Structure 1
Amino acid sequence: MHALEMPEYRKISTWTGFLAIAVALTGIIAQGVLYEIKSANAEKDLQSVLARKDSVDKEAKALIETRRRLVDEIAGLQDKVNQGATALEQISDDLKSTGQQAGSNASLDTLQEAASAAALDLRAALSPQPGSNATEPLSNVVARLFDAKASQRGAAYNSIMKNYSQRADLVATLLKFADANTDNENGIYNTLVVLGHLNYSSVPAEMVQPVREFSTRMRDKGPKTAARADVVLKRLPG
């Protein structure tokens, strides 16, 4: 007599099969849901990145426009400064001419020197970028710092700072000419202005002490020159 067989629905193997199928279906469904979630998140992330990119692009364009406007404004200011310096140099030259015609006049001399110094201070404020358009001997340009005309002195300053400021022999040439012309107050003042605007990391180390000694000696030339000498002394390394 055969033993009664267990119904299929009560067999463990049957339920195990159903369970495996259910797990597989659940996994497939879960993967689909996760894919949709990831796709949605990826789309959201992409939109966020694009939004940030648009924001950065707008900021970059705004900065570029601001820079362009500032460059234009700076160029305009530089033109005005140059015009002001030129006007002061002309006033200085006119005062000198008037003094020569009217005879010795301490007040006119003081005004002339003040106008000349103010003109050079304006030019010094521009800090021209160094170049290499040197068309004449350095000694000739340095000599023009001591010229009788303020316009020539201003042009010499611009030329030195733009075309000769990187020359290793600049400081030695300046000091040699200045020491030979210490009675020329405008020239001494102009020399100190140049020395006060040099980059001393490119000046030969052996020239630092001579600059210090020269600047210290020139402090006796009056308050205006002393103030310029102090600027140089503060800038010297060591």
Structure 2
Amino acid sequence: MTSPTIGPDAVAHNRYQREYYETRYKPNMQPSATPYVVRQVRRVVAEGGLRNDRPLLEIGAGLGRHTLPLLDLGFTVTALDLSPVMLAQLAERAEGRPLTTVACDLAAAGEVLDERFSQAVGFFTLHHMHDLELIFRGLAGVLEPGARVVFCEPNAYNPLFYLQMLVTPGMTWKGDGGTVRMRRGPVLGAMSRAGFTGLTLKRFGVFPPQLTNRPAGARWEDRLDRLPLPTPLHAFTLFSGVWPG
């Protein structure tokens, strides 16, 4: 499968996203193997049934906030991101561990990557993408038949994410407003049109990191995750599917 064409609108979008992240300090992007971050990683690994004896493609790796915990779990990671600047910093932090970095748009990954993957993940990256169907078609071009993909995104129905954009210096609607698209229809619909099957949506997480990073907070969150809570109370959404080939 060849990569889809990246048009001028996508090029302009990508240019803004690179500037948005390369020139602004964002604490929530900095690598930090806190319980809050590690729980996100372990939840994605469990949801996808991911195996650390198989190469893993991570989409939108950035500075490695989730990449480094994946490496700690024994995964061999190919980290893809728009920004070579951020990937260079990630490579330094990886300290010679099994990491390959690739700077490109996911929609054009098939033009850059020779390897095909049986598993792929992304953490808080889809809401920055220019065209969901286009990038899922690009992702399909670098997957093996039967590959599992899992994405962890903000819950579009949780009002706290929009409040965060309003009060956090450096955050903008243009940069993070794609959170509003992180719903069943826009995401799973785009995956379906791109040819993915076995599509699922699950939500998890309740507390902010200040509570989840405490042992008691983590225990309570585990209990709350087992309850049928109203959708807006959850922090994150997992989107997953299979590339049938």
Does the alignment reach a TM-score above 0.5? no
Does 1 or 2 have the higher relative contact order (CA < 8 Å, sep 6+)?
2
Pick the structure with greater CA Rg: 1
What is the TM-score of this pair, normalised by structure 1?
Answer: 0.27
Structure with the largest fraction of helix: 1
Structure with the largest fraction of strand: 2
